Amino acid sequence: MKMNKTFFIENIKTIFYALIIALIIRSILIQPFYIPSSSMEPNLLVGDRLFVTKYTYGYSKHSFPFSPPIINGRIFSKKPNRGDVVVFKTPSDNRTDYIKRLIGLPGDVIQINNGDLFINSNQVLKSRISTNDTIYCGNKVMPVNTFEEKLPNSINHISVYSSEYTMQNSDKFIVPDKHYFFLGDNRDCSKDSRFLSSVGYVHENNLVGKARFIFFSSDSRKASIFKIWKWPEIIRLNRFFKKIN
């Protein structure tokens, strides 16, 4: 009886220590995330699982589960680079995780004019790759034009615009101090900093981490990952360990 009690206590201790270690790794080093929407297509697909490094921009209360108020502001802070793919907490509730591309730095003026992206009155150069691609917007398939965009710091990335050019023009967005402006790569199917009431400008304290690479991917639109017999149909092996640019 005593042996069984000791065995039980030791196992509880082992589980407890394992949870503490996992919590430390998740909070300080690296955290997995799941992509639930099509706002970052074609670069991130629904069903992608990716790793985000928490140390890249330093730490705030949002680095920890449930955002406990244990850090005032940000410690070990490092500035993100334009073009980074970033996970952040939405300012509207400081709880929901979003992932978008960083386009505007503090003080920048961002505007979409005649379907073109401008940063500080300078047009972001883009080269058309294709005019007959299709991607998802929610559950709908949308025809798009695919471009390679070059940001002012020479970072290149792929973006897509609806063939119907639904996002032609916008107001001027002036990014406040200590805030950032984010866009989805799927420009006509993304709730991002253009929507001031729901996302808007993101304070530096809301940054969670930088997306690094995809470690697993499955097409969740076709079947749940728990349907093992469907794996040959839904697993995207070509996306495993793919670096996020």
Return the active site residues.
39, 100
Q: How far apart are CA 40 and CA 195, in angstroms?
A: 16
Alpha carbon of residue 11 to chain centroid: 37
Q: How far apart are CA 140 and CA 199, in angstroms?
A: 23
Residue 159, classed as helix, strand or coil, is strand
Q: How far apart are CA 79 and CA 157, in angstroms?
A: 20
Q: How far apart are CA 47 and CA 44, in angstroms?
A: 9
Q: Which residues contact 204 (CB under 8 A, 6 or more apart)?
A: 57, 60, 74, 77, 178, 179, 180
Residue 188, classed as helix, strand or coil, is coil
